[in-house]
Chains A and B, each alone.
Chain A
Amino acid sequence: MNIFRLAGDMTHLASVLVLLLKIHTIKSCAGISLKTQELYALVFATRYLDLFTDYISLYNTLMKLIFLVSSFSIVWYIRHHKIVRRSYDKDQDTFRHYFLVLPCFLLALVINEKFTVKEIMWTFSLYLEAVAILPQLVLLQRTRNIDNLTGQYVFLLGAYRSLYILNWIYRYFTEPHYVHWITWISGLVQTLLYADFFYYYFQSWKNNVKLELPA
């Protein structure tokens, strides 16, 4: 464990807590893409298959449980909670996210580190996570007024993967044989997808104006 990875995990945890806070306290999911949340639940479900088979550390197991429970509860809230579901804008959240699932799975079948079920599912979860934010970014461009919590949620989600990139660089230089090209490239693609969001987020913060993404 290194400081970049710990900071990355804490930032990721913060993004999930910000989202749960928003949904649980103001009982609203306005501006949140259910499709991105469903993709994230699938990412964790396929990545943490080894939850009960491989014990790495208490921290690792605890965080996996937190991410699994939180991502599925967020999906449940938006879909089934009688008040929250009313604020879900399904006419705007129209990204065909199922078109992301199959290509990621096929790519995982072809490009992976080991041709085993667990490893292919793990690689699938990596590719899927890289594109999972797309429905949310499309929704942000459609909904004019982005509320602070939603902006912070997306920012933290992008920031966590950027910190992971620093973690991979650190591990590459400190641990012999630590080479995971698949993880690095998909993590880089994921972070690049946030690039323009980061730019507008920083501009809105610097000029102290409301966050707006160009249509």
Chain B
Amino acid sequence: PLGQPMHDEL
């Protein structure tokens, strides 16, 4: 989804 950052992991 656009806007949602591609990566949520550290």
Where the two chains meet, the residues of A that have a C-beta atom closer than 8 Å to any C-beta of B are 5, 9, 12, 50, 54, 56, 60, 63-64, 67, 113-114, 119, 122, 164, 167, 183
Contact = CB atoms under 8 A, between A and B. Distances in A.
Given A5-B9, A122-B6, 16 more contacts: A9-B10, A12-B10, A54-B5, A56-B5, A56-B8, A60-B8, A60-B10, A63-B10, A64-B10, A67-B10, A114-B6, A119-B6, A122-B7, A164-B9, A167-B9, A183-B9
B7 to A, nearest CB: 6
Interface of B: 5-10
A9 to B, nearest CB: 6
Most chain B Cβ neighbours within 10 Å, of A54, A113, A167: A54
Contacts of B6: 113-114, 119, 122
Q: Please list the 9 inter-chain residue pairs (A to B) with the smallest Cβ-Cβ separation, ordered nearest first.
A: A54-B5, A56-B8, A63-B10, A9-B10, A50-B5, A122-B7, A56-B5, A119-B6, A64-B10
A113 B6 CA distance: 9
Contacts of B8: 56, 60
B8 to A, nearest CB: 5
A99 to B, nearest CB: 27
